[in-house]
């Protein structure tokens, strides 16, 4: 069944990839009407997340932002899907790196880099970064259930030179690079919800109690890697600019959770500045701090 699903998906993606982007964006506008008005996809969750994050906003502004988000979400899906077959020249012209010299300067100082970012803008285009820096790029990802589709998207990301590593193997990979004295930069989308059993740290993010992933900070300290934040700006429909912002060159000189807090502060400011391009359909606040502290931990201690 997985193979049948793969061939169906592959055929549709191949077909879409041969349609001009202007036509695809027209199709995206049509799909938006279906997804937002006719068969809403997680609309209640997205608007709930917006209301809780911006309690001072009136309902008109909430719904206006939600509509803009869903328009972008469909664009993101279209762009990321056809990326599998998109010509390299077309991809690179849509993805501008403002200051890759920051990364190369860190390499010259003998530092590997942990690059952290949120699910903001189109992070799939980040696969092209290898073209602009001197050392190996590593994308950390969670494998899809369908192994055939998973392999297709891995090949799509790797064709620009990116090495794709499952999240459960990244520590071993970075250890091997460290032993071989091979500098590298590894990418982490670090705003996802951790599993309940993995929660080690809570903070306030977008005015809500939020459990956060601390893995990138731990890896940075373990391998003494510099930590850089990726800020994505949308220049116009389908075109993005990436700016690299240094969080720290010396992670072991920072306090516990300091790197994580700085990352979240940068991401929060970016979302507040332009909220429509963050992934509001993710159930980010599913875990309640009260439940975690008063019920879950007590169960685990028994």
pLDDT (tens digit, 0 to 9) for every residue of the chain, 302 residues total? Answer: 655 554 465 566 656 666 788 888 999 999 999 999 999 999 999 999 999 999 999 999 999 999 999 999 999 988 888 887 788 888 888 989 999 999 999 999 999 999 999 999 998 888 889 888 888 899 887 766 666 556 766 676 777 888 888 888 999 999 999 999 999 999 999 999 999 999 999 999 999 999 999 999 999 999 999 999 999 999 999 999 999 999 999 999 999 999 999 999 999 999 999 999 999 999 999 999 999 988 888 777 76
Q: Which of 87, 100, 102 is nearest to 130 (CA)?
A: 100
Q: In this predicted structure, what is the pLDDT of residue 183? A: 96
Q: Quick one: which of 224, 262, 265 has its CA closest to 106?
A: 224
pLDDT at position 140 is 85
Within 8 A by CB and 6+ apart from 210, the residues are 202, 203, 204, 284, 285
Note the pLDDT of residue 20. Answer: 84
Looking at residue 209, the DSSP 8-state letter turns out to be E
Q: What's the rounded Cα separation, in Å, for the pair 37 and 151? A: 34
Neighbours of 75 (CB within 10 A): 22
pLDDT given at position 302: 62
pLDDT at 113: 97
- Say what the pLDDT of residue 296 is: 83
Region for 206 from its dihedrals, namely left if φ exceeds 0, alpha if ψ lies in -120 to 50, beta otherwise: left
3-class secondary-structure state, position 111: coil
């Amino acid at each position: 069944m997985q193979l049948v699903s793969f061939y169906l998906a592959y055929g549709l993606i191949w077909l879409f990839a041969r349609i001009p982007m202007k036509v695809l964006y027209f199709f995206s506008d049509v799909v938006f009407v279906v997804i937002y008005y006719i068969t809403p996809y997680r609309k209640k969750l997205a608007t709930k997340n917006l209301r809780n994050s911006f309690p001072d906003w009136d309902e008109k502004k909430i719904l206006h932002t939600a509509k803009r988000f869903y328009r972008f979400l469909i664009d993101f899906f279209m762009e990321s899907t056809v990326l599998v077959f998109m010509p390299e020249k077309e991809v690179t012209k849509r993805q501008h790196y403002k200051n890759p010299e920051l990364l190369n300067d860190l390499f010259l100082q003998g530092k590997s880099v942990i690059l952290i970012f949120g699910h903001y803008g189109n992070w799939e285009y980040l696969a092209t970064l290898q073209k602009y820096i001197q050392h190996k790029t590593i994308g950390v990802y969670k494998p899809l259930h369908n192994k055939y589709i998973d392999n297709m998207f891995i090949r799509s990301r790797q064709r620009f030179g990116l090495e794709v590593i499952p999240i459960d193997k990244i520590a071993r990979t970075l250890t091997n690079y460290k032993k071989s004295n091979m500098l590298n930069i590894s990418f982490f989308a670090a705003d996802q919800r951790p599993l309940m059993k993995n929660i080690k740290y809570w903070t306030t993010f977008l005015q809500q109690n939020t459990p956060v992933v601390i893995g990138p900070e731990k890896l940075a300290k373990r391998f003494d890697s510099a930590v850089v934040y990726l800020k994505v700006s949308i220049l116009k429909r389908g075109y993005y600019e990436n700016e690299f912002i240094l969080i720290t060159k010396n992670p072991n000189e920072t306090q516990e959770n300091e790197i994580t807090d700085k990352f979240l502060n940068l991401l929060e400011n970016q979302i507040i500045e332009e909220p429509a391009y963050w992934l509001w359909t993710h159930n980010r606040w599913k875990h309640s701090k009260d439940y975690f502290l008063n019920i879950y931990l007590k169960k685990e201690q028994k």
